[in-house]
């Protein structure tokens, strides 16, 4: 009997191993690899995904992961074509990253239609878990509501109760302006006006002059990446801050601060989900990442790609299968835990919940060297950092 | 106080001035393109990359050698010009007897390679270039705050544009150049070294792009893509002005800067396309451009 039990157990374990080895997973990292977002989420996101696969020791656990990547050039049509091709002919199971909300909203739809999985780390629009929410999408790192809630509230609390927006003219800019306006007005502030600039832009002087002329106390930059860099640089040139107006860079990445230099960027308040210098685990990851990403520290988007791929692989391991519905259910059921974002959860609408942080850019004499840029102003707890489930208008939660 | 379509005059003057400043970049860049096209018949798609080289040249001088902005204004354009001369001697020269398209493809390919190379080493976020002390700060003109760096851009580019126009249209050297484009064989028969003249012209056109790049360094992010974003607009400027027309490219450069500036006030969303709309209209009415001679 004992012998029989042993044979049964070993057969079962063999069968389990056999089934597990059948899991081949293909991850497509889709982002901007050459344009204005390539430094915050280009090759770095691919490296982050690879590191997640390595750190998870996927092969030892019977999951064969291959990673492909492509450049969507920040164009929804290009991104849609790649996503369709990946799903239809190249057997891609999951698309990760996808900065540029207009592209991400398109990929979100295609992923739902093809019943695959979308791990959105790059895009910002809060519509991804709002009216456009999908059972196949996890929105991992941040969104426009969280940015507005962090930076917007902080600026109003400092007395910045009248706003003028300089907004990138596409889905992301519109969402960020809308969500920040709501925060400003809810806190008793007033929005005096907004100007929409072509995306991507180079010269922001006209728009900044209009912002200056509005007399608003806060000039809100609802743009990102290269656009924010140029706008902040030119705002300093045109004496916006010297004239008493405060600048609110509503979405700012550490790479942007690096490009601007602390002389120009000092004092800016920003909301972020991640900073490399928060604890031993983030420092350890960031040092390894920096070595592989030509000396650049990870942005919060790249950190989000790492963490979301890690969580996905855990779910695949737990399910023992890569079926999209089962894996999505598992991802939402299991609490998340990773070295970069700590503990968290994924909500029914696809929103990943974790703490957000309000940082201030250090003065040049406070910084110990390159990449030592942020000081923590406040931690926004996970349950306060993101839009309440009921307010998003997501059809999945009705 | 009068208002024009709901816009107070101060705002309008400010925007017109900004339009002129942007127009300065268009003018210097399209001037270089026009000189090269007029004299070499090459559509120089590398121009945007060479503009970027100018900005990076200034950045490298400052960060590797500690050489400041004012020296860079004089040192960088000739260096960028020399890189152009090398390209012309080694590659572009071989295409003169072929169709325009070959030159276009070659220079476009070169631009992609140069930009890709810089992107690999410096990333796309750009690098900070602090303006020199003289260019920080600015003056309040009553209707707007004009930073010194922008005022300098207008002055410098006007001087360079007028000097170029003067050399080509009013001096003996310019006369040789113009003659060499009309009939290179005949000019060569008079004992003038036409290939050398052509090489130097290309170098000069490229140096103009490098100069614009140095002007841009303290204002825009020094970034490998900076030229690619601008070059398409500048080509439209050259087409509107008339391919190869020196004065045409200067005037259209400033003029389109103004129109773009006004669009940014009245309909900001359209400011990225207004120049191309004008290009389409001009091509319908005057296919050779506003100042071009029809062939």
ipTM entry: 0.84
User: Is the Cβ–Cβ distance between A205 and A231 less than 8 Å?
Assistant: no
Mean pLDDT of the B218-234 span: 88
Looking at the fold, whether A341 and A287 belong to one and the same domain comes out as: yes
Q: How far is CA A47 from its chain centroid?
A: 16
- Express each pLDDT in B124-167 by its tens digit: 888 889 889 998 888 888 778 889 999 999 999 999 999 999 99
Q: Of chain A residues 251-280, which have a CB less than 8 A from chain B?
A: 255-256, 258-261, 263-264
Size of interface A-B (CB pairs under 8 A): 108
Alpha helices in chain A (DSSP H): 2-21, 38-41, 43-56, 76-89, 101-114, 144-147, 153-157, 171-186, 205-214, 226-237, 254-260, 262-265, 280-292, 300-319, 324-333, 382-385
Tokens of A351: 């929103």
Tell me the pLDDT band of A256, cut-offs 50, 70 and 90: very high
Whether residue A42 lies inside any domain: the answer is yes
Which residues does chain B have within 8 Å of residue A206's beta carbon, measured at their own beta carbons?
A: 15, 18-19, 261, 264-265, 268, 271
Whether residue A317 lies inside any domain: the answer is yes
Looking at the fold, whether A210 and A310 belong to one and the same domain comes out as: no
How far from A204 is each of A124, A151, A196, A214, B250, CA to CA, in Å? 22, 22, 11, 15, 23
Whether residue B281 lies inside any domain: the answer is no
User: Is the Cβ–Cβ distance between A70 and A83 less than 8 Å?
Assistant: no
Please tell me which of the candidates A42, A200, A260 has its beta carbon nearest to residue B229: A200
- Express each pLDDT in A21-31 by its tens digit: 568 999 999 99
Q: What angle do CA B244, B248, B249 make, to 5 degrees?
A: 70
The tally of domains found in chain A comes to 2
Max Cα-Cα span within chain A: 89
Looking at the fold, whether A109 and A53 belong to one and the same domain comes out as: yes
Looking at the fold, whether A257 and A373 belong to one and the same domain comes out as: yes
**CATH code of the domain covering residue A336:** 3.40.50.2300
| SS (HEC) of A234-257 | HHHHCCCCCCCCEEEECCCCHHHH
Report the alpha-carbon distance of residue A306 to residue A312 in Å, rounded. Answer: 10
Looking at the fold, whether A230 and A304 belong to one and the same domain comes out as: no
Report the alpha-carbon distance of residue A364 to residue B48 in Å, rounded. Answer: 33
Whether residue B80 lies inside any domain: the answer is yes
Looking at the fold, whether A72 and A158 belong to one and the same domain comes out as: no
Report the alpha-carbon distance of residue B158 to residue B163 in Å, rounded. Answer: 8
Inform me whether the C-beta atom of residue A169 falls under 8 Å from chain B C-beta atoms.
yes
User: Is the Cβ–Cβ distance between B156 and B135 less than 8 Å?
Assistant: no
Whether residue B104 lies inside any domain: the answer is yes
Report the alpha-carbon distance of residue A138 to residue A129 in Å, rounded. Answer: 8
User: Is the Cβ–Cβ distance between A376 and A358 less than 8 Å?
Assistant: yes
Tokens of B105: 């493809």
Q: Say if the Cβ atoms of B269 and A198 lie within 8 Å.
A: yes
The tally of domains found in chain B comes to 1
Tokens of A222: 């609802």
Q: What is the pTM of this model?
A: 0.87
Alpha helices in A123-204 (DSSP H): 144-147, 153-157, 171-186
| Least confident piece of the model among A346-350, B188-192, B277-281 | B188-192
Looking at the fold, whether A293 and A319 belong to one and the same domain comes out as: yes
Looking at the fold, whether A54 and A201 belong to one and the same domain comes out as: no
Per DSSP, the three-state class of B135 is helix
Q: Say if the Cβ atoms of B124 and A38 lie within 8 Å.
A: yes
Report the alpha-carbon distance of residue A225 to residue A36 in Å, rounded. Answer: 6
Q: What is the per-residue pLDDT for B15?
A: 85
Whether residue A394 lies inside any domain: the answer is no
Please tell me which of the candidates B144, B223, B271 has its beta carbon nearest to residue A226: B223
| Least confident piece of the model among A304-308, A359-363, B141-145 | B141-145
Looking at the fold, whether A240 and A149 belong to one and the same domain comes out as: yes
* Dihedral sign (CA B144, B150, B156, B159): negative
Whether residue B136 lies inside any domain: the answer is yes
Whether residue B4 lies inside any domain: the answer is no
Q: CB under 8 Å to A2, separation ≥6 — which residues?
A: none
Tell me the pLDDT band of B1, cut-offs 50, 70 and 90: very low
Report the alpha-carbon distance of residue B252 to residue B269 in Å, rounded. Answer: 22
User: Which residue range forms the structural domain that includes residue A296?
Assistant: 24-142+278-354
Whether residue B258 lies inside any domain: the answer is no
Report the alpha-carbon distance of residue A10 to residue B7 in Å, rounded. Answer: 82
Q: CB under 8 Å to B67, separation ≥6 — which residues?
A: B61, B75
Whether residue B259 lies inside any domain: the answer is no
Q: Closest Cα partner for B146 from A335, A237, A278?
A: A237
Which residues does chain A have within 8 Å of residue B26's beta carbon, measured at their own beta carbons?
A: none
Q: What is the per-residue pLDDT for A86?
A: 97
Please tell me which of the candidates B10, B127, B138 has its beta carbon nearest to residue A239: B138
- Express each pLDDT in A189-226 by its tens digit: 999 999 999 988 888 998 998 898 899 999 999 999 88
Whether residue B186 lies inside any domain: the answer is yes
Tell whether the model's pLDDT for residue A369 goes beyond 70.
Answer: yes
Beta strand extents in chain B (DSSP E only): 138-140, 145-147
User: Which residue range forms the structural domain that includes residue B46?
Assistant: 29-224
How far from B53 is each of A302, B6, B58, CA to CA, in Å? 30, 42, 9
Bridge partner list, A337: A343
Burial class (CB in 10 A: 0-12, 13-18, 19+), A393: middle
Please tell me which of the candidates A198, A237, A256 has its beta carbon nearest to residue B125: A256
Inform me whether the C-beta atom of residue A234 falls under 8 Å from chain B C-beta atoms.
yes
Looking at the fold, whether A375 and A256 belong to one and the same domain comes out as: yes
- Express each pLDDT in A315-338 by its tens digit: 999 999 999 999 999 999 999 999
Q: Closest Cα partner for A166 from A228, A112, A79, A94?
A: A228
Looking at the fold, whether A349 and A373 belong to one and the same domain comes out as: no
Bridge partner list, A68: A28
Mean pLDDT of the B232-239 span: 91
Whether residue A391 lies inside any domain: the answer is no
Bridge partner list, A222: A167
Bridge partner list, A359: A270, A376
Looking at the fold, whether A258 and A379 belong to one and the same domain comes out as: yes
- Express each pLDDT in A121-139 by its tens digit: 999 999 999 999 999 999 9
Which residues does chain A have within 8 Å of residue B119's beta carbon, measured at their own beta carbons?
A: 34, 38
Mean pLDDT of the B238-246 span: 87
């Amino acid at each position: 009997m004992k012998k029989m039990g042993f044979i049964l157990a070993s057969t079962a374990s063999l069968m389990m191993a056999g089934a597990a080895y059948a899991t081949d997973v293909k991850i497509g990292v889709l982002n901007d690899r050459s344009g204005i977002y390539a430094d915050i989420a280009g090759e770095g996101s691919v490296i982050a995904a690879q590191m997640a696969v390595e750190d998870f020791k996927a092969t030892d656990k019977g999951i064969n992961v291959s990673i492909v990547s492509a450049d969507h050039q920040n164009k929804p049509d290009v991104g849609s074509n790649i996503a369709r091709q990946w799903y239809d002919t190249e057997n891609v199971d999951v698309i990760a990253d996808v900065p540029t909300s207009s592209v991400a909203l398109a990929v979100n739809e295609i992923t739902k239609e093809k019943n695959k999985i979308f791990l959105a780390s790059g895009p910002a629009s809060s519509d991804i878990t709002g009216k456009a929410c999908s059972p196949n999408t996890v929105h991992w790192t941040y969104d426009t509501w969280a940015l507005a809630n962090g930076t917007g509230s902080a600026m109003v609390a400092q007395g910045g109760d009248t706003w003028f927006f300089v907004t990138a003219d596409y889905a992301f800019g519109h969402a960020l302006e809308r969500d920040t306006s709501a925060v400003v007005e809810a806190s008793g502030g007033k929005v005096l006006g907004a100007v929409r600039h072509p995306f991507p832009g180079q010269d922001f002087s006209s728009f900044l002059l209009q912002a200056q002329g509005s007399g608003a106390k806060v000039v809100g930059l609802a743009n990102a990446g290269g656009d924010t860099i140029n706008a902040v640089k030119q705002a300093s040139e045109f004496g916006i801050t010297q004239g008493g107006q405060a600048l609110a860079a509503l979405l700012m990445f550490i790479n942007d601060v690096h490009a601007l230099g602390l002389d120009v960027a000092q004092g800016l308040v920003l909301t972020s989900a991640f900073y490399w210098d928060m604890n031993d685990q983030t420092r350890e990851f960031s040092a390894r990442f920096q070595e592989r990403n030509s000396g650049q520290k990870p942005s919060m988007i790249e950190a989000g790609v790492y963490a979301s791929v890690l969580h996905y692989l855990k779910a695949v391991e737990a399910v023992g299968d890569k079926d999209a519905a089962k894996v999505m259910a598992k991802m939402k059921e299991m609490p998340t835990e990773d070295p970069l974002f700590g503990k968290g959860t994924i909500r029914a609408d696809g929103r990943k919940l974790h703490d957000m942080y309000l940082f201030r850019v250090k003065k040049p004499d406070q910084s110990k060297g390159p990449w030592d840029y942020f000081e923590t102003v406040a931690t926004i707890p996970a349950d306060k950092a993101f839009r309440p489930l009921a307010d998003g208008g997501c059809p999945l939660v009705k | 106080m009068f208002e024009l379509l709901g816009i107070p005059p101060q705002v309008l003057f400010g925007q017109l001035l900004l339009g002129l400043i942007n127009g300065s970049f268009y003018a210097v860049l399209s001037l270089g393109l026009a000189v090269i096209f007029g004299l070499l018949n090459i559509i120089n798609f590398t121009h945007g990359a060479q503009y970027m080289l100018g900005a990076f040249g200034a950045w490298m001088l400052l960060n590797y050698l500690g050489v400041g902005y004012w020296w860079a204004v004089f040192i960088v354009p000739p260096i960028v010009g020399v890189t152009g001369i090398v390209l012309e001697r080694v590659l572009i020269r071989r295409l003169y007897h072929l169709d325009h398209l070959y030159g276009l493809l070659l220079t476009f390919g070169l631009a992609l390679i140069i930009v890709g190379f810089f992107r690999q080493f410096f990333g796309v976020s750009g690098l900070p270039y602090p303006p020199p002390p003289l260019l920080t700060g600015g003056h309040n003109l009553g209707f707007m705050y004009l930073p010194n760096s922008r005022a300098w851009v207008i002055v410098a580019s006007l001087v360079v544009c007028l000097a170029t126009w003067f050399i080509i249209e009013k001096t003996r050297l310019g006369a040789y150049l113009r003659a060499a484009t009309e009939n290179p064989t005949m000019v060569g028969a008079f004992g003038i070294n036409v290939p050398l003249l052509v090489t130097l012209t290309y170098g000069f056109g490229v140096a103009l792009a490098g100069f614009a790049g140095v002007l841009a360094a303290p204002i825009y992010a020094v970034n490998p893509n900076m030229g690619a974003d601008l070059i398409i607009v500048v080509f439209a400027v050259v087409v509107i002005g008339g391919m190869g027309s020196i004065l045409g490219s200067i005037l259209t450069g400033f003029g389109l800067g103004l129109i773009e500036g006004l669009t940014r006030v009245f309909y900001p969303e359209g400011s990225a396309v207004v120049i191309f709309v004008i290009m389409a209209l001009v091509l319908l009415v005057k296919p050779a451009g506003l100042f071009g001679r029809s062939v």
